[in-house]
């Protein structure tokens, strides 16, 4: 005999239906997300509009009449050292990213796979280094540059800036990459060593393909750093010809002689292009690297 009763609703998962309080919290969460998105998108939208608005003069006027024009971009290329700043920034960013990747990949592997004296103490030192703000060492950077420049002729302030960026990136990313490598089973290492692989071959053939997504992230953030930083280039670099983009573009905001806020917006828009290109180039590595490396061929 069939039992007739209230038909139970079926769910595709074990998640329970939202309670009234849950619905309220969900609505509040969406409101917060929409508000946060508006806070981010609104300034970016005005920056793009102002960069192409020919009616803008030296100051940004959000409600001004709009007239499409490239005059602010022409001002950047003709009246400022924008191309020199771009060259300086890309050079510093590329060298910083390569130097950071080269050292971090080895230090992360060493801390993850080897046990040596002073390992825990040095890891603790790496963690403590991150608590010291960068600007606190500006005096030390000046002193160090003067010492190194006396020993190594031609050691420029831009080289010093590269070492500062790379040094800070090595300290933080070593700890991150070490934790990522710890999640990789050591059985893969043992199987490779049974086949006759050395430690370097294990590192190159097994570990590197698996950690490729994390290396791509480290490369991306190391490259972005010099584009975003203003304080260190402004303090360490003394001539406009040696400025990075952040320090150079800021002269369009705080200098009465070169004040041009719409040109600053145009420069900020162009600054994002190299970062977007690098992100697009590394996107494939971020996705495909997760599924490669552990398959033995």
Conformational region of residue 13, where left means phi above 0, alpha means psi within -120 to 50, and beta covers everything else? beta
Residues 55 and 78 in one domain: no
Which parts of 195-260 fold into alpha helices (H)? 199-202, 208-210, 212-228, 231-236, 245-254
Tell whether 261 is covered by a domain. yes
Of the candidates 207, 233, 225, 219, the one whose C-alpha atom is nearest the C-alpha of residue 278 is 219
Dihedral of CA 158/160/163/165: which sign?
negative
**CA distances for 85 relative to 79, 91, 157, 243, 286, angstroms:** 13, 10, 14, 6, 30
Q: What is the pLDDT of residue 296?
A: 41
- C-alpha count within 13 angstroms, C-beta hemisphere, residue 63: 0
**Domains of the chain: total:** 2
Tell whether 3 is covered by a domain. no
| CA angle at 165 for the pair 162 and 167, rounded to the nearest 5° | 100
Tell whether 296 is covered by a domain. no
**CA distances for 34 relative to 23, 45, 266, angstroms:** 17, 16, 27
Residues 120 and 193 in one domain: yes
Tell whether 4 is covered by a domain. no
Q: What is the pLDDT of residue 293?
A: 42
Residues 139 and 39 in one domain: no
Residues 209 and 196 in one domain: yes
Residues 196 and 256 in one domain: yes
Per-residue pLDDT of the chain (297 residues; tens, 9 = 90+): 445 444 455 545 556 777 888 888 889 999 999 999 999 898 888 888 888 888 888 887 777 788 888 888 998 888 889 999 999 999 999 999 999 999 998 888 888 888 888 888 887 887 777 777 766 777 777 778 778 877 877 788 888 888 888 888 887 788 888 888 888 888 888 888 888 888 888 888 888 888 888 888 888 888 888 888 888 888 888 888 889 998 888 888 877 777 888 888 888 888 888 888 887 877 776 665 444 444 444
Tell me which residue has tokens 């309080």: 21
CA distance 279 to 281: 5
Chain CA centroid to CA 179, Å: 19
Burial letters 95-131, b for 16+ CB under 10 A, else e: bbbebbbebbbebbbbbbbeeeeeeeeeeeebeeeee
53 phi, psi to nearest 5 deg: -95, 110
Residues 26 and 134 in one domain: no
Q: Are 9 and 16 in contact (CB under 8 A)?
A: no
Q: What is the pLDDT of residue 87?
A: 93
Tokens, residue 242: 């040696």
68 phi, psi to nearest 5 deg: -60, 130
Tell whether 80 is covered by a domain. yes
Q: What is the pLDDT of residue 94?
A: 92
Residues 45 and 80 in one domain: no
Q: What is the pLDDT of residue 207?
A: 84
Q: Are 216 and 176 in contact (CB under 8 A)?
A: no
Residues 218 and 108 in one domain: yes
Q: What is the pLDDT of residue 14?
A: 59
Tell whether 238 is covered by a domain. yes
Domain extent, residue 146, equals 74-291
Q: How many C-beta atoms surround the C-beta of residue 18 within 10 A?
A: 11
Residues 36 and 163 in one domain: no
CA distance 97 to 90: 10
Q: What is the pLDDT of residue 163?
A: 87
**CA distances for 38 relative to 32, 33, 43, 62, 64, angstroms:** 10, 9, 9, 16, 21
- C-alpha count within 13 angstroms, C-beta hemisphere, residue 208: 12
Q: How many residues does the chain have?
A: 297
Q: What is the pLDDT of residue 287?
A: 66
- C-alpha count within 13 angstroms, C-beta hemisphere, residue 204: 5
First-to-last CA distance in the chain?
A: 60
Residues 59 and 78 in one domain: no
Residues 167 and 112 in one domain: yes
Residues 153 and 47 in one domain: no
């Amino acid at each position: 005999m069939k039992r007739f009763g209230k038909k139970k609703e079926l769910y595709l998962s074990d998640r329970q239906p939202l309670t009234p309080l849950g619905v309220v919290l969900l609505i509040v969460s969406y409101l917060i997300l929409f508000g946060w998105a508006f806070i981010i998108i609104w300034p970016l939208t005005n920056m793009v509009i102002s960069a192409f608005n020919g009616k803008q003069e030296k100051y940004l006027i959000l409600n001004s009449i709009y007239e499409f024009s490239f005059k602010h971009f022409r001002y950047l290329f003709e009246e400022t050292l924008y191309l020199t700043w771009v060259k300086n920034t890309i050079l510093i960013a590329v060298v910083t990213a390569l130097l950071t990747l080269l050292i971090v990949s080895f230090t992360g592997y060493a801390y993850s796979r080897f046990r040596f004296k002073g390992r825990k103490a040095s890891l603790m030192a790496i963690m403590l280094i991150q608590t010291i703000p960068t600007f606190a060492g500006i005096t030390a950077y000046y002193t160090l540059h003067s010492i190194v420049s006396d020993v190594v002729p031609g050691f420029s302030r831009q080289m010093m800036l590269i070492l500062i960026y790379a040094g800070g990136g090595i300290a933080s990313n070593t700890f991150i990459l070490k934790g990522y490598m710890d999640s990789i089973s050591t059985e893969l290492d043992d199987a490779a060593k049974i086949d006759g692989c050395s430690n370097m071959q294990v590192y190159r053939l097994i570990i590197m393909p698996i950690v490729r997504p994390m290396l791509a992230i480290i490369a991306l953030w190391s490259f972005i750093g010099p584009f975003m930083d203003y304080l260190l280039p402004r303090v360490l670099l003394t001539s406009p010809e040696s400025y990075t983009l952040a320090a150079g573009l800021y002269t369009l905001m705080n200098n009465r002689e070169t004040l041009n806020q719409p040109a600053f917006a145009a420069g900020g828009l162009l600054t994002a292009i190299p970062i977007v290109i690098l992100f697009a180039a590394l996107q494939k590595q971020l996705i495909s690297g997760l599924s490669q490396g552990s398959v033995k061929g």
